Amino acid sequence: MNKTATYRNVFKDIENSTSTIYYTLPERTIAQKIYKLRMIKGYTQREFAEVCSIGYSSLCKYEIGLSKPKHVNLEKICQTFNMSIDYFL
């Protein structure tokens, strides 16, 4: 048994084949939009925060709706994925 296998290594093929399911996630709130974007891109919360240059704890709070993201952090997310900030506003 390979005890060093990670979730990503074990389920990589499944994630790639079923990633389209994430496109059906709701987009009613900013929290849902951030979560959906992260899932579509296939990042963990830590990876997403690092790629976007925002704090991990901030991202966690954004995703569960405890706080609203600062405009600066929304801009960082949009710049990272080359998208319009209008998606979040």
Domains and CATH numbers, the chain: 7-87 (1.10.260.40)
pTM of the model: 0.74
Q: Scan for tokens 């569960």, then name that residue.
A: 64
Spatial separation of the C-alpha atoms in residues 56 and 79, rounded to whole Å: 18
Amino acid at 75: E
Q: What is the pLDDT of residue 9?
A: 55
Contact 39/25 with Cβ under 8 angstroms?
yes
- Which tens digits make up the pLDDT trace of 51-71? 999 999 999 999 999 999 999
What's the confidence (pLDDT) of residue 27?
86
CA distance linking residue 66 with residue 23, whole number of Å: 24
Paired tokens of 60 = 């966690």
User: Using 50, 70 and 90 to split pLDDT, how confident is the model at 19?
Assistant: low
* Of 9-13, 65-69, 85-89, minimum mean pLDDT range: 9-13
**How far, in Å, CA of 24 to CA of 5, rounded?**
29
